[in-house]
Amino acid sequence: MRHEPVPFGRYRLLSLLGRGAMASVFRAVLPGPMGFEKVVALKTLDQAVTKNDAYCQALVNEARLGGDLRHRNLVEVYEFDQVGDHYFIAMEYIDGWSLQQLLAFAREQGAAMPPSVAVELGAHICEGLHYAHTAVRRSGEALNLVHRDLKPANIMVSRFGEVRVMDFGVAKADTNLFQTEDIGSTKGTPIYMSPEQVQGVPLDCRSDLFSLGSLLFEVVSLEPCFQGNSLMAVLHAIAQSQPENVVARLPVEAAVLAPVLAGCMVVQRDERYASARDVRRALVALRRDLQAPVSLRDWLGQFGSALPRPRPDGDFGEDGPPVGGVFAEPAGAQLERARDSAVAASTASVEGLARTAPLLSRGSLNRGTRSNLSAPMDAFFGREEELEDLANRVSGGQRLITVVGSAGTGKTRLAKRFGAQVVGDLGGGTWFCDLCEARGESGILSAVGAALGVRLTGEDPATQLAEAMGRRGRSLVILDNFEHVAEHAVATLGRWLQAAPEAVFLVTSRALLHLTGEEAFYLDPLPTEEAVVVFYDRARAVQPEFERTPENEGVIRDIVERLDGVLLAIELAAARVRLLTPEAIRDRLSQRFKLLRGARRGQAERHATLQSAIDWSWDLLQPEEKSALAQLSVFRGGCTLEAAETIVDLGGFDGTPWVVDVVESLVDQSLVRRLEPQPGHVRYQMLESIREYAAEKLGDDGSAATRRCVDHFAALGHEDFLDSLHTHGGLDRLRGLSLELENLVAAAEEGLSLGDPNQGAACALAAAVLFTRNGPVSDGLALLHRFSTERLDPVVRANLCRRKGGLLRLAGRDSAAEENHQRALSTYRDLGDHRGEAIALANLGALLLKRGWGSEARAHYREALSLARQAGARRLEGFVLGSLANVDRQEARAAEALEHYRQALEIAREVGDRQFEGQALGQLAILHHGQGNEAEARENYAQALVVTREVGDRRFEGIAMGNLGELMSSVGEMFAADAYLQQAVIICDELWPQAAGAFRGSLALVRARQGVFDEARHLLDAGEARIRGEYPLELAKLLCKRARVEHLAGDPGAARAALEEAESIGKQLDVSEDSPLRRSIAEVRGLWGPEDPHGDESIEGLSDINS
């Protein structure tokens, strides 16, 4: 049986992935704005073991370690948190299988995995293990981590052959943070234990290598390495095992693995391989000798759809979805905590995302090999994925890799770090050559000769260097800062690639060299968490007493984000803590080129300041490239290629260069970044430091470029474009518009500066659409207010009043909203604009209905409907029909409401207005709920949620979830009701506080039915504070809920007082006897008798035509 997704905190559980002795793992999704969804694997303890401290501690231990471990061969932990009494871990979801599942499948097929597949599996597992075994905390303290439960069930294999180690729940580390057990405790799965685990003695990384040997034996033989009739027999077999006996049992075709398994499975651990890296090297060497090796990906591909499939969405196994309050939040304090859980999780994960690699001494760099790399003067943070990627490319045979990135992103530092990591693996050494002072081919040859220690005496120094490199064999040559001599790459680097076949060349450059065989490695700025750690480290270097505190962490995070994660900029900013507080540094970022300069001993002049670093790139540009870059600086947050072609004018250059070619060249030179933030929406963006630098170069072209930019974005605020957002293809246009918010706000301000308020207002109108959908409402109102005193064309003024009225209504300022809609109505009538008049009447009708004045609202809607039909505004006609249906429903005219909803939905689907379709489905569900049609209500709510998530309508998603919670409560499904209502409160707190207040009342009633009366009252008080004075109809409904809560709590006096106030409001609003409010009052007054399980207490998800 298929079930609906189950809410769990901020997540929705989709299906069961697996159950173990203590925990269940679900496939889950974390929803976000604009239809964004992140699929995760969510692991939580089962109900039966939540009181067991040992099991809880194992999950906590796994989460803590996961926060400190981040590697391509480990399953990443995203979040550790708590819902109610239940801890959970949100982890990377691997679309594939556990190795245990693959082995079971292989047994069914009667064919073990080929040795080459076992070798590939083992090599990937070793990479993950080596990383975990050598991991350190931010302080540099080694974890000395041992997994202790390496087995097929804890190895994941994706459909593309990616391999991940997971489940560090019983892992052991030496640091105080993770030491949760006695040294002698024995944990793990018996048949994969090492002899020292069996004996209960202290473990080190070599214990995991023994377990790896057992696992690989099973992969190629399809039977466990150790078996017995009892647990004691298995443990005895492990303790007495001999490697020669193990390898003697290998299948003939897998005998090639014998040396590696023997090296892993010696009982005396001092005689085993010393590290997982050593095992990996042995496996890689084996693979070279295999005949026609089959890859893991190819092996998976042989079976295709025959491989086990994951459970489909809605399949939670024989036991069904979690029920009975297993995941319910027990208290209001949990609700408030849930709302902030994303921030808390982010803070908790900082330590794990930024690890300090141990510093290498000068001696350790040069011992046993040759290298001119000097010891680093400061610590290296993060970039684990990048270093791993480089290592994989080199081990895969790539010989020319160019690290490409903008000024200051840390290309040189990454290259040096990589060289230091691999220096021990290269017999020919690692050699660093700085080309920043080179001028021409001779300069390159001199710099490389000096770095390699080769005295250039021949007539052909390029050939002399090639021969020297060839003699050194396997070596790494780092060529730093190649961009300004790139025209000489063929004559130098091109020759060396051919003459020295074992040499690997790692180039850093702000542009590709375009050599045959070159592979680009694009280096992005630092992720925020790593950037924060770098700031603190560099700040402590100049001010040792500088500490990381909760008070300064938010400021530091803001600084590094505004600096785009550019390493050089962060280091220069951190150096200012000698004189400035973090707050003062942040306040001076508007003067970043003055702020970000300083004396940095041992650094080239171009790295002494941020400006000099960018100067270096600017000086390499052609004149037309400089002009284009300067003109592109008028954009904020990037632009489309079409927008760039509109704004950039290169007509003053010979031949009028094509803008597309020039932009492509700027991308190649790392001054402009090509991004795809939404599928199908490619944008071109500069880092903010580069944008500000380019803006200073704009000169006389500035006002013309700005004018073209304002005109371009003003077109997005015209009514024909905004209407197109609600027609076929509108969703894609809306996604594109959402990426332009920064540009729209900036263009609106520039319109005012240029003395063209009409064009500026058009930009503001487009931005208002986005503020209405996603907030913050206050920012949208502030922007529109900038035009309140400007002389505008009448139609622009009317449109501005209309949009402002919609935002004011969301802010709960109904009187001001009504005033703006009335102004718009008056202007539209003066202009004879029937369409505008209909919109204004419909918006006023929504305000009237919100107050419970149904008859007045109906009159407005009928007039609006007539005007919409006169104007031929089909979409508007559908909207008004849906609004009339809301009046019918409120006045208990079910048949009329159903017909009006049917017509509205038909028109919405005809014109392609998915947003209104989702809203109408939600309103139709409320109608069915009020009529007691549970099945139809569930179906319509489910359809509404699908549509609102597709279009990214978070506000109406919250309304639909809250109303679905009401439905669940009315049919006695309290766990589901609690979960849905919590999600609704969290969403609506951000986007519609009045609705959040109403849903708190509904949640209070659910809690009261569970006997938690103090918590119920707390929720009612909080909800009433958000509604009173702004939303009388919903206040009356909330008071009915308070009466029910007090009745259940045994306080009839408080219950009657709440009911009397609700009745008084009903009389003031003059609501009909058949309205939902009147029915609720009647039910409570009969209380005192049984409640009607089908009472309609749903929240009115009323919208206006601005939405």
Burial 137-169 (b: 16+ CB within 10 A, else e): bbeeeebbbbbbbbbbbbbbbbeebbbbbbbbb
Stretch 340-350: mean pLDDT: 31
Q: Which residue has the higher pLDDT, 46 or 165?
A: 165
**Statement: residue 345 has pLDDT above 50:** no
Q: Which helix (H) or strand (E) holds 1006?
A: helix 993-1009
Count of C-beta atoms within a 10 Å radius of residue 425: 15
**Statement: residue 31 has pLDDT above 70:** yes
Region for residue 381 given its phi and psi (left: phi exceeds 0; alpha: psi -120 to 50; beta: otherwise):
beta
Q: Which residue has the higher pLDDT, 1075 or 533?
A: 533
Rounded-to-integer distance, Cα 420 and Cα 430, Å = 8
In the chain, pLDDT over 70 holds for what percent of residues?
A: 84
How high does pLDDT run on average in the chain? 81
- The pLDDT score that the predictor gives to residue 52 is 58
**Statement: residue 364 has pLDDT above 50:** no
**Statement: residue 253 has pLDDT above 60:** yes
Rounded-to-integer distance, Cα 89 and Cα 68, Å = 14
Interstrand relation of 11-19 and 23-31 (parallel, antiparallel or unpaired): antiparallel
CB 345, CB 63: distance < 8 Å = no
- Taking only the tens place, the pLDDT of each residue in 772-781 is 887 788 899 9
- The pLDDT score that the predictor gives to residue 406 is 81
Does the N-terminal peptide bond of residue 312 adopt cis geometry, omega within 30 degrees of 0?
no
- The pLDDT score that the predictor gives to residue 309 is 79
Rounded-to-integer distance, Cα 947 and Cα 417, Å = 49
Least confident range from 191-195, 690-694, 760-764: namely 690-694
- Taking only the tens place, the pLDDT of each residue in 880-933 is 999 999 888 878 888 999 999 999 999 999 999 988 898 889 889 888 888 888
- Taking only the tens place, the pLDDT of each residue in 666-719 is 888 878 888 888 778 899 988 877 888 888 888 766 789 999 999 999 999 999
Rounded-to-integer distance, Cα 188 and Cα 895, Å = 65
Interacting residues of 390 by C-beta distance below 8 A, sequence separation 6+ = 401, 414, 418, 506, 521
- The pLDDT score that the predictor gives to residue 240 is 83
- Confidence bin at 56 (pLDDT 50/70/90): low
- The pLDDT score that the predictor gives to residue 66 is 64
- CA distances from residue 1092 to 135, 316, 967, 1051 in whole angstroms, order as listed: 61, 32, 13, 21
Rounded-to-integer distance, Cα 985 and Cα 996, Å = 5
- The pLDDT score that the predictor gives to residue 1086 is 82
- The pLDDT score that the predictor gives to residue 952 is 79
- 280-286 LR contacts (CB < 8 Å, sep 24+): 280/122, 280/123, 280/126, 280/127, 280/130, 283/119, 283/122, 283/123, 283/126, 284/119, 284/123, 284/395, 286/115, 286/119, 286/256, 286/257, 286/259, 286/260
**411 is written with which tokens?**
């290309």
- Taking only the tens place, the pLDDT of each residue in 371-429 is 788 766 556 667 878 888 898 888 888 999 999 888 778 888 889 889 888 877 777 88
**Statement: residue 337 has pLDDT above 70:** no
- Taking only the tens place, the pLDDT of each residue in 1003-1049 is 998 889 888 898 899 999 988 887 887 778 788 888 999 999 999 99
Q: Which residue has the higher pLDDT, 532 or 186?
A: 532
- The pLDDT score that the predictor gives to residue 590 is 72
Rounded-to-integer distance, Cα 996 and Cα 895, Å = 30
- The pLDDT score that the predictor gives to residue 139 is 57
- CA distances from residue 1032 to 998, 1036, 1103 in whole angstroms, order as listed: 11, 6, 17
Rounded-to-integer distance, Cα 609 and Cα 597, Å = 4
Rounded-to-integer distance, Cα 716 and Cα 835, Å = 19
Interstrand relation of 519-522 and 400-404 (parallel, antiparallel or unpaired): parallel
Stretch 224-237: mean pLDDT: 81
- The pLDDT score that the predictor gives to residue 966 is 86
Question: C-alpha dihedral over 213, 218, 220, 222, to 10 degrees?
Answer: 170
Task: Tell me the three state secondary structure of residue 684.
Answer: strand
Helix axes 730-738, 934-951, angle to 10 degrees: 50
- Taking only the tens place, the pLDDT of each residue in 632-653 is 999 998 999 999 999 999 988 8
- The pLDDT score that the predictor gives to residue 64 is 66
